[in-house]
Amino acid sequence: MRILVALVVAAILTNSKDADRASALVTVSGGPHAGQFTLRNADVPCEITAEKPPHPKHQFSATLGGFSPSKDPAKLTLLMVIIPDADVRGANRSFFTSINFGDVSRGTQYNAETRPGEKLGGSGSVTMAPHGQDATVTFDVKSAEGITYKGTIQCTGVSRY
């Protein structure tokens, strides 16, 4: 009986307004920031926006983390992913990703930019799989700086504009 009560309490807390709306697990291979990191957001960090022609129909973006009181240069503080054509199913090779360590404005940043019309750098793929109002994003990229990072973002209640 205690286990059942504990499960019900956990479910209620998970569905409360303070629950994480997105979480990410990121693995960095090589370089001074090699390791595994997690980020969580209670606000709405994932969104799909409708685009006007001649752009693709929908764009997906996710931003987890941000300004942090911790200036620890070894701590992952920000993750951004932009997929300009979110209607593509499967691996998408047109994207922007960025991870920041330490102070967001002065810390270390690794970017991969493969969107047409932008200053290109980096490579890899990003996949966005919608599940009703939720989405799972996986990425496996090599930054313009030569750092490889991969991970998964779980978004709950993706905003749509």
- Asked whether 23 and 138 are in contact (CB, 8 A), the reply is no
Distance, C-alpha 57 to centroid of its chain:
20
In a domain, 121, yes or no: yes
| 3-state SS, residue 138 | strand
Backbone angles phi, psi at 56, to 5 degrees: -55, 165
Residue 4 domain-assigned (yes or no)? no
Joined tokens for residue 95:
């994207």
Q: Does 118 reside within a domain?
A: yes
Q: What's residue 122's pLDDT?
A: 97
- Structure confidence at residue 24 (pLDDT): 96
Number of Cβ atoms within 10 Å of the Cβ of 108: 17
pTM: 0.83
Listed residue (81, 122, 123) closest to 99, CA to CA = 81
Q: Please check whether residue 34 lies inside any domain of the structure.
A: yes
Give me the chain's average pLDDT, please: 86
Report the chain's C-alpha Rg in angstroms: 17
In a domain, 3, yes or no: no
Token digits for 32? Answer: 């001074």
Q: Give the pLDDT of residue 148.
A: 97
SS (H, E, C) 14-68: HCCCCCCCEEEEEEEECCCCCEEEEEEECCCCEEEEECCCCCCCEEEEEEEECCC
Q: Which DSSP symbol is given to 86?
A: T
State the pLDDT at residue 160.
87
Tokens of 41: 């957001």
Whether residue 129 lies inside any domain: the answer is yes
Range of the domain at 104: 18-160
Q: What is the CATH number of the domain that holds 84?
A: 2.40.128
Question: How many Å apart are CA 150 and CA 122, to the nearest integer?
Answer: 13
Has residue 10 been placed in a domain?
Answer: no
- Binned at pLDDT 50, 70 and 90, residue 6 comes out as very low
pLDDT at 66: 81
**Total domain count, the chain:** 1
In a domain, 5, yes or no: no
Confidence label for 9 from pLDDT (cuts 50, 70 and 90) = very low
